[in-house]
Amino acid sequence: MAHKEIQFAGFGGQGIVLAGYITGKAVSLYDGKSASMTQSYGPEARGGACSSGVVVSDDASKPVDYPKVREPDILVVMSQEAYHKYIDHLKPGGILIYDADLVTPEPARSDIQAYAIPATRIAEEKIGKRIVANVVMLGALVGLTGVVSEESMRKAIQTSVKKDYVELNDQAYTLGLEAAKQVEVSSHAEN
Amino acid sequence: MKRPAVLTGEYFILGDYACAEGALAAGCRFFAGYPITPATEIAERMSYRMPEVGGIYIQMEDELASMAAIIGASCGGVKAMTATSGPGFSLMLENIGLAVMMEVPCVVVNVQRGAPSTGLPTLVGQGDVMQARWGSHGDYEIVAYAPSSVQEMFDLTVKAFNTAERYRIPVILLADEAVGHLTEKLVIPPEEELTIINRMPPQDPPGEYLPYRADDSLVPPMANAGEGYFVHMTGLTHDERGYPIITGEAHEKLIRRLIQKIRSHADEIIEYEEVELDDADIVVIAYGITARAALRAVRDARAQGIKAGLLRLITVWPFPEKKIQDLAQRVDTFVVAEINQGQIRREVERFVDRPDRVIGVNKLGGDLITPNEILEVLCQPSPK
């Protein structure tokens, strides 16, 4: 039975929890699998450390056994602090996706695949709203890992944001998918 | 937008929200509470859902008043609930005893966090198990359910209302922060597929009806305020009319019945889930979120050839003592995993001949017990 763990981390206000929620929803309601989403954040409204985890299992007949991320297969980070906090937890052979402008992946790990996605820059320059950077990241996540199907994720995004913002987020998602096609894997051993 | 009370469909939803939806589906139309982490989302959901279904939401001045308000609402014939966490639960205990004594159906949700005192507001704990059992003064029986998934936050809230109505008792949903703040799939069935139990109405006309006269079920039919019946309710020891009678004889009769109405139905009330118990040498006992770690540990242990099983408590109270005694005949070792210092472990020890056959995996709160922490114990040689 396939089992995958995804960790999202950054700071409060980046939509880290929403990214986890949308991913879990896509998996459990539209991909016909099971997902549990947990979250962790401080008392601050914005700026504090923030994370969310999604555990995915192929067996849709029951909840995943243990709902917390233990050793992520996929790590998505949007702050330097989050990188330092979670990079050692990433499974050997795992996939790291990081915001190219907010994170310098050092100290590097040579046993993982790392992808730099300028999600915040794309959101700012191409859409004019940096708040959709998390959804750009969801596009990159789907494009780079296939952990969720492209259509399920799109549907989960459309049904999770306010009506007035559906188009904006849809566009952000598409840009993320495109960014995933253009990015090259950097094996940290080369650095 | 007005939505129906039973939101039939599939959702990816927070455990606390699932609890609120379970209450509404069960027919709850009155919520009084004082928001507290990690139960706030239940109050939040109720605050906008109650007006949608024609119910009442009141944010009270504190938890003493919240508990009093739901007792009053229930006496008026409306299914009622409150939700809190440890500090608020402490304040509700006196009036939980009042609900026991006056036999008023209601549901009290305690989403446990790290304690004592204000402790760890945002972090998990399972330390209120004994408080739920014995927190109010005096001898009484209590029913407490421990949900371990988002689906169970819904299902067991419905069940808590059914049990409360059927036996005229306060029922506790003993959740924990991790389940309350977990987001998972919830399936809400069509309304006609839900089992809903309502309190038995008076079988006698006004004038003949005695509010505390019970048949063999030991549960008296309940007249709601405003239905034309004269009803007197008091926390004092009372007779079948509900009038105070301060004698040992009346006390013996009343309290014996209140205790027996639960004990004599314990087999119907008690629920647990058995996983891989048939040939198990070592059995993990767990409830709430910890049962999820235990399930993973049992599967990992089986993969290593260890004959491990899981007894997941769905009701923590009444305690499934017969099941423990039965298992103790054929199992070598029990491992009780809980985020407290051994509250259910001690209960298990009471029904196993040698306490060294019972091992605890314990934390103080703040963090979940992980599957590996349980697995390590399962891999140790048996004390036999």
How far is the C-alpha of B150 from the C-alpha of B334, rounded, in Å?
A: 27
pLDDT value for B204: 96
Question: Which domain-ending residue is among B177, B193, B209?
Answer: B193
Residue B322 lies in a domain: yes
Q: Do B292 and A28 touch (CB under 8 A)?
A: no
Domain that holds residue B323: 271-378
| A68 at B interface, C-beta within 8 A | yes
Query: Could you give the CA distance from residue B284 to residue B293 in angstroms, rounded to a whole number?
Result: 10
Other CB atoms within 10 A of residue B222 CB: 23
Asked if A36 reaches chain B (Cβ–Cβ under 8 Å), the answer is: yes
Of B193, B220, B254, the domain-final residue: B193
Residue B218 lies in a domain: no
Residues belonging to chain B: 384
What's the pLDDT tens digit per position in B34-54? 999 999 999 999 999 999 999
- What global pTM score does this model have? 0.97
CA distance B139 to B151: 33
* Locus of tokens 């008076």: B202
B144 and B275 in a single domain? The answer is no
Statement: residue A188 has pLDDT above 60: no
Nearest CB to B184; choose among A36, A39, A70: A36
**pLDDT at residue B115, rounded to an integer:** 97
Contacts with B293 from chain A: Cβ below 8 Å: 66
First vs last C-alpha separation in chain B: 63
Q: Is B185's CB within 8 Å of A35's CB?
A: yes
Q: What mean pLDDT is predicted for residues B278-283?
A: 98
- Distance between CA B294 and CA B370 in Å, rounded? 8
Task: Give residue B384's pLDDT band: very low, low, confident or very high (50, 70, 90).
Answer: low
Q: Which of B193, B224, B247 is the last residue of a domain?
A: B193
Q: Does domain A3-184 sit in CATH 3.40.920.10?
A: yes
Instruction: Report CB contact under 8 Å: A63, B185.
Output: yes
pLDDT band, very low/low/confident/very high, at A41 (cuts 50, 70, 90): confident
B184: closest CA of chain A, how far (Å): 5
B36 & B147 share domain: yes
3-class SS of residue B256: helix
Indicate whether B50 and B182 sit together in one domain.
Answer: yes
Q: Does residue B279 fall inside a structural domain?
A: yes
| Average pLDDT in chain A | 94
Q: Is B178 on the interface with A (CB under 8 A)?
A: yes
Assign residue B123 the CATH number of its domain.
3.40.50.970
**What are the chain B neighbours of A28 within 8 Å (beta carbons)?**
12, 184-185
Max CA distance (Å), chain A: 45
* Contact indicator for A71, A92 with CB cutoff of 8 Å: no
- One-letter-per-residue 3-state SS of B78-132: CCEEEEECHHHHHHHHHHHHHHHHHCCCEEEEEEEEECCCCCEEEEECCCCHHHH
> Do A70 and B293 lie within an 8 Å CB cutoff?
no
CB < 8 Å from A in window 132-161 of B: 149-151
Interchain CB distance below 8 Å, B292 and A37: no
Q: Is residue B234 part of a domain?
A: no
The answer to whether the CB atoms of B183 and A24 lie below 8 A apart is: yes
B292 touches chain A (CB under 8 A): yes
Helix ranges (H only) for B304-366 are 321-328, 343-349
Q: How many domains does chain B have?
A: 2
Q: Are residues B176 and B284 in the same domain?
A: no
**Are B126 and B338 contacting, i.e. CB atoms less than 8 angstroms apart?**
yes
Q: What is the CATH number of the domain that holds B356?
A: 3.40.50.920
> Cβ of A35 under 8 Å from any chain B Cβ?
yes
Contact B292 A34 (CB under 8 A): no
Q: What are the DSSP calls for B33-79, one per residue?
A: E---TTTHHHHHHHHHHHHHTT-EEEE-SSHHHHHHHHHHHHHTT--
Asked if B292 lies within 8 A of A35 by C-beta distance, the reply is no
Mean pLDDT of B135-139: 98
* Type of residue at B274: E
Tell me, what's the pLDDT at A190? 45
* Distance in angstroms (rounded) separating the CA atoms of residues A22 and A161: 9
The answer to the question of residue B260 being in a domain is no
* Number of neighbouring beta carbons within 10 Å of residue B187: 11
Handedness of CA A142, A143, A146, A149 (dihedral sign): positive
- Residues B178 and B275 reside in one and the same domain: no
Q: Running DSSP on this structure, what letter comes out for residue A27?
A: I
**Measured distance between the N- and C-terminal CA atoms of chain A, rounded to whole angstroms:** 36
Which residue type sits at A110? S
- Residue B383's pLDDT is what? 60
Question: For A130-185, what is each residue's pLDDT tens digit?
Answer: 999 999 999 999 999 999 999 999 999 999 999 999 999 999 999 999 999 999 88
- Cβ–Cβ below 8 Å for B181 and A39: yes
Q: Write the residue in A29, A65, A70 that is nearest to B12 by C-beta.
A: A29
Which among B10, B299, B368 has CB closest to A65? B299
